Amino acid sequence: MQRIEFGKTGIKTARFGLGCMRFPGEQKKVDEIIRHALDHGISYLDTAYIYDGNEIKVGKALKGGYRDKAVLATKSPVWDIRSHGDFEKYLDEELKRLGTDRVDIYLMHSLNPDNFKKIVENDCFSFLDRMVEKGKILHRGFSFHGTNALFKEIVDCHDWDMAQIQLNILDEFEQAGLDGLKYAYKRGLATVIMEPLRGGHLINDYPGEIDALIGGYPEKRSLVEWAFRWLYNIREADVILSGVSTMAQLKQNIAIFDEAEYGCMTSGEMELIHGIKTAYESRHAVGCTGCRYCMPCPFGVEIPEVFRYYNKVAMLDKHWLDKSTYRNLVMNEGKGADKCTECGLCVPKCPQGIMIPERLKDAQAVLTSK
Ligand code: SF4
Ligand code: SF4
């Protein structure tokens, strides 16, 4: 598998990084996934304080000599920071959960206008520098969900070692975008790509036109392969995360990344990707990745589930089936968009900037129509 120099950190790692957010519940399965990855040349592991119980699972899987094989990245719960001292308090808790004395890359999580203001007001910068001196963290980074302009402002405001952004074939011009990626790379930051498949939504419930496009192309690859190929083709994309839930997915990803190479795509392949993007965008309803950062809703609305049905109905032609399943399984259990009181509590938590109450209304109208 292609290995790269990770910015100015001195780290060498494979281009495929293991996203730990969507691991299975059973520790045994997590151990198998992480250890198989580390035994097959993958070293970058991405977790976060907010991923429920995840740091503890990762820590357990890294026992028995695996910690030293890993480049371990985790993230500060920025939105919970109330004072400067909170940064170290959370980091110490994370180190304890992970069962280690150091984090290789420590990220300020999900920087958007509010979270960026918070880290500036509470001076995360001197905290990060001090933790590097103490050896509790080795490198400083941030993950990002905001505009391209804000991304550049953040890149330039501190001596960061890495930046993590959302990028996939649908998001070339969204958030930091490809332009932001190139900006960070040019300034010497290591780069990490998250949501390469938009939380799996890009490859599930997609319109039938895409199958026709892929099937008609001379070189036979699955949609997953095309989505990753578009990313590993990009010189500035150092590590590409994939959040696996099963061993089968991990093995599939390893096989895909065995072909990873910069600049491998032909102009014909780029045209195919453009066609896939156009087909997808002509039907897509809402850009929810299913991350669940907006949950729980105090009024019981299963926000990502409502949006999943909304997108399914928009993408596929079996409208009646998905609409009746939504009514029977989601609304009947009191988890439908009809329970939204428009309190707005979920809106600032959404990294995709979705105006959730408004889009829930749209979803409810479509999902309950004839
Ligand atoms: S706006 Fe609606 S979905 Fe969001 S938290 Fe309030 S009630 Fe729940
Ligand atoms: S609405 Fe936003 S926060 Fe909630 S699951 Fe979707 S993308 Fe994540």
Q: Is 229 inside a domain boundary?
A: yes
- Residue 328: pLDDT band (50, 70, 90) is confident
Q: Is 187 inside a domain boundary?
A: yes
Q: Is 145 inside a domain boundary?
A: yes
Domain containing 112 equals 3-281
143 and 193, same structural domain? Answer: yes
Asked if 141 and 106 touch (Cβ cutoff 8 Å), the reply is yes
Q: Is 73 inside a domain boundary?
A: yes
Which residues make Cβ contacts (< 8 Å) with residue 300, sequence separation at least 6? 334, 335, 339
241 and 318, same structural domain? Answer: no
Ligand 2 site, CB within 6 A? 288-294, 303-304, 307, 349-350, 352, 354, 356
**Across 233-261, average pLDDT:** 95
Mutual angle of helices 54-61 and 27-39, in 10-degree steps: 60
User: In whole angstroms, what is the distance from residue 350 CA to residue 330 CA?
Assistant: 21
213 and 74, same structural domain? Answer: yes
- Residue 318: pLDDT band (50, 70, 90) is low
For the record, the structure tokens of 254 come out as 């390893």
DSSP state of 295: P
Which of these three, 215, 250, 281, is where a domain ends?
281
- Residue 59: pLDDT band (50, 70, 90) is very high
Q: Give the whole-number percent of the chain exceeding pLDDT 70.
A: 99
**Which of 97-106, 301-310, 312-321 shows the lowest mean pLDDT across its residues?**
312-321
Residue nearest to atom 3 of ligand 1 (CA): 340
Q: Is 99 inside a domain boundary?
A: yes
Ligand 1 site, CB within 6 A? 297-299, 301, 303, 340-346, 356-357, 360
pLDDT at position 280: 86
pTM confidence score: 0.85
pLDDT digits (tens, 9 = 90+) for 138-173: 999 999 998 899 999 999 999 999 999 999 998 898
How many distinct structural domains can be found in the chain?
A: 2
Q: What average pLDDT is seen over the chain?
A: 94
- The CATH number for 32's domain is 3.20.20.100
Which of these three, 281, 311, 326, is where a domain ends?
281
311 and 268, same structural domain? Answer: no
The residue length of the chain stands at 370
Asked if 43 and 76 touch (Cβ cutoff 8 Å), the reply is no
For the record, the structure tokens of 147 come out as 């505009």
pLDDT digits (tens, 9 = 90+) for 334-346: 999 999 999 999 9
